[in-house]
Amino acid sequence: MHPTPPELVIDGSARIDGTPIFGPLRLRIPAGRWTCLLGPSGVGKTTLLRLLAGVDDVSDFTGTISASDGLPLPGRMALMAQGDLLMPWLDVLGNVTLGARLRGTPVDRERAFAMLERVGLTDHAGKTPDALSGGQRQRVALARTLMEDRPIVLLDEPFSALDARTRAQMQDLSAEHLAGRTVLMVTHDPAEAARLGDAINILSETGLAEFSPPHGVPPRPVDDSETLAAQGRLLALLRAPAIP
């Protein structure tokens, strides 16, 4: 049985060398749900994600990051960064099982091969990252993140390098494996947010705005009329000079 995932709240502002990056803002990430965060480049989405993950050593953050259960966050999170961060000296299987290797715990090879089959990379298990395409590398990084099996998962543009067909398949796979987890996904894709988000937020230069997601349980059908309409409204907001 998996531990109950908490709600997360980040409340504050961030600067780099005195230059404001975001905030003040308050972002609530509901427990056991998918929260999607959209917005133009440069407004601090990735910084916010890295602060939550505890891996930001550049920003000066003023505020609080808390979990609803009051427990520390380290050890309960999996982060899929914007870059795939694959180890070039390890093969695909080694990269997918990297977490267990680093922790010195037994490697579940059977589960790892099952995950590689789900992401369509079984035949590439013995290859090193330099032999893979960008989309294949991103699927390895996704498989590694799903293998971690954490109650809190942070995703930064996890499907950006994939073609449309593969993207939909990996969205379905991620929604299946991360059901009931607390997920925050940064994305530039309105269609992705409309399809996957239980909660949707837009971060802009003027602050944080909530967006009402479509009805229905994610992942919503790609051709669902309400999902398509939400995608269009999101795109219009992202193209506007500023989010009100």
Q: 1-76+152-166+180-244: what fold?
A: Rossmann fold (3.40.50)
Task: Determine the pLDDT at residue 240.
Answer: 77
Q: What is the pTM of this model?
A: 0.94
The Cβ of residue 170 has, within 10 Å, a number of other Cβ atoms equal to 22
| Residue-range domain boundaries for the chain | 1-76+152-166+180-244, 87-149
Task: Determine the pLDDT at residue 244.
Answer: 44
| 189-206 per-position pLDDT tens digit | 999 999 999 999 999 988
Task: Determine the pLDDT at residue 187.
Answer: 96
Give the integer Cα–Cα distance in Å for 168 and 145: 18
Give the integer Cα–Cα distance in Å for 204 and 42: 9
Task: Determine the pLDDT at residue 4.
Answer: 84
State which residues of the chain have pLDDT below 70: 1-3, 241-244
Give the integer Cα–Cα distance in Å for 151 and 217: 19
Mean pLDDT of the chain, nearest integer: 94
Task: Determine the pLDDT at residue 87.
Answer: 96
Task: Determine the pLDDT at residue 242.
Answer: 57
Give the integer Cα–Cα distance in Å for 49 and 134: 22
